[in-house]
């Protein structure tokens, strides 16, 4: 059984909104990236209002079920660097 950090547990329950696909994605993500990367990732999902079935759909459709890509695309520092790079290239 996965030992979920108490700080992450409340956010996972809230973000999943009872959706089993979202729960599966978030638990797999936690297990793969660890708590130090997971906490900023879920804060970013909250801020972007990606919740419930939207978590599963984004993971599956937008990121090809690739956890690393999903985390990178939805973690604010990573996103800010991408936006900055895009503007500089513009």
Condensed to tens digits (0 to 9), the pLDDT of residues 76-86 reads 665 555 556 66
Nearest to 55 by CA among 10, 13, 6: 13
Q: Does some domain include residue 18?
A: yes
For the chain, how many structural domains are there in total? 1
Residue-number span of the structural domain to which 69 is assigned: 6-89
pLDDT at 15 over 70: yes
pTM for this entry: 0.79
Q: Does some domain include residue 21?
A: yes
How large is the C-alpha radius of gyration of the chain? 13
Confidence at 27, pLDDT banded by 50, 70, 90? very high
Q: Does some domain include residue 1?
A: no
pLDDT, averaged across the chain: 87
């Amino acid at each position: 059984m996965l030992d979920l950090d108490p700080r992450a547990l409340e956010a996972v329950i809230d973000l999943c909104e009872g959706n089993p696909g979202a729960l599966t994605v978030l638990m797999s993500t936690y297990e793969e990236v660890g708590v130090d990367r997971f906490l900023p990732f879920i804060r970013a999902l909250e801020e972007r209002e990606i919740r419930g079935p939207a978590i599963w759909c984004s993971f599956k459709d937008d990121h090809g079920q690739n956890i690393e890509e999903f985390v990178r695309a939805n973690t604010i520092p990573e996103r800010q660097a991408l936006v900055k790079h895009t503007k500089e290239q513009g």
